Amino acid sequence: MKSIRYPTKLTAALAGAVLLCSAASAQAREFSVSTVLSDAFPWGQAAEKWAELVEERSEGRITLRVYPNSQLVAGDQTREFSAMRQGLIDMAIGSTINWSPQVPELNLFSLPFFMPDEAAVDAITGGEAGEMIFDAIESRGVVPLAWGENGFRQLSNSQGPIDEPADLEGLKIRVVGSPLFQDTFTALGANPTQMSWADAKPALTTGAVDGQENPLSVFDVARIDQVGQEHLTLWNYMNDPLIFAVNQQIWGSLPAEDQELLRQAAIDAGEWEIAMTREEESGRLAAIQERGVQVVELTDEQHQAFVEATRSVYEQWEPRIGEELVQTAREAIETR
């Protein structure tokens, strides 16, 4: 049987095509991205936007596969940072609250009534204090890229209106796994009950807990009013910025141009998500009220009563967070 001999030019062309395909395949990479919430919420939409921008700007060479609902850590959102540091998760858009057990500096944002408005949040994240926080994250094996926003957290319950600290006396309030939240609600006379978000709605449904605290976007999309949460207090007691981040080893394996692509896409996705979250606040509140939820908006005097009731929390937590960081953030707020 005669062997088939291809023309030299055709052979070279085929070989070249194979090499090009192999090179393209070698360069193509897929990474996991963890989030606590799905794309029904702004948080999840931020992850999808990041993935979309990276896919577009890399021309399909880099794919970010989003895993919502903390599924990569079996629903335990407080393990997300550790899992990313260990390389079990490539990337994440995480909450400062959920990551604070591993990065104490992130508790800055959970200090009760520390940030009075969105301008204060921006002054911190966009200034020296924000840089100090990013340095603290990077020192623990994770590279932070950009900020997003989960929003100011509001208080709801099934028992009645809350407009003074005494109204919280004895109420079981679901909180995330952060000791600072335990201390804050204990100072207010409540009975803080730690549980994951996956367990929170069933507990609210059965009455195992009386209330919870979350941004309006979560209250609205998750229809928390349908599980007995008929009373909502707007008290803006803390804000929960989100952080786009990458495992340090993954980051180090990327060429400089891909690092820049990922970082800029994260910055752009974060800015987009922050603007969207803030723009939707008034509409969400109106929708919540239309569903029959009774909303309390605190007067300045009522707000100050909550500030005074939680002042002792600062004495406990400033040293743990870092007095220099807290002071830097306070100065940023005062000069905003």
pTM of the model: 0.90
Percent of the chain with pLDDT over 70: 92
pLDDT of residue 177: 82
Write out the CATH class of domain 29-334. Answer: alpha beta
pLDDT of residue 8: 53
CB burial readout 157-180, b (16+ within 10 A) else e: bbeeebbebebbeebbbbbbbbbb
Report in angstroms the alpha-carbon separations of 162 from 115, 119, 139, 185. 21, 26, 41, 13
CB burial readout 126-151, b (16+ within 10 A) else e: ebebbebbbebbeeebbbbbbbbbbb
| 21, pLDDT greater than 50 | no
Tokens describing residue 86: 């260990």
pLDDT tier for residue 50 given thresholds of 50, 70 and 90:
very high
**Stretch 244-256: mean pLDDT, rounded?**
98
pLDDT tier for residue 27 given thresholds of 50, 70 and 90:
confident
Tell me the H-state helices in the chain: 8-27, 42-57, 80-85, 96-99, 118-125, 128-138, 179-187, 197-206, 216-221, 248-252, 256-279, 281-290, 300-309, 311-321, 323-334
pLDDT of residue 10: 44
Cα 110 from chain centroid?
A: 13
- Residue-wise pLDDT tens digits, 72-112: 999 888 899 999 999 999 999 999 999 999 999 999 999 99
Written as one letter, the residue type at 38 is: S
pLDDT tier for residue 2 given thresholds of 50, 70 and 90:
very low
| 138, pLDDT greater than 90 | yes
Domain boundaries, the chain: 29-334
Do residues 212 and 171 lie in contact, with contact meaning Cβ atoms separated by under 8 Å?
no
Tokens describing residue 35: 């989030």
Cα 103 from chain centroid?
A: 14
Residue 55: is it exposed, middle or buried by C-beta count within 10 angstroms (0-12/13-18/19+)? middle
pLDDT of residue 9: 53
**Which of 319, 335, 313 minimizes the C-alpha distance to 114?**
313
DSSP string, 285-322: HHHHHHTT-EEEE--HHHHHHHHHHTHHHHHHHHHHH-
- Residue-wise pLDDT tens digits, 108-137: 999 999 999 999 999 999 999 999 999 999
pLDDT tier for residue 318 given thresholds of 50, 70 and 90:
very high
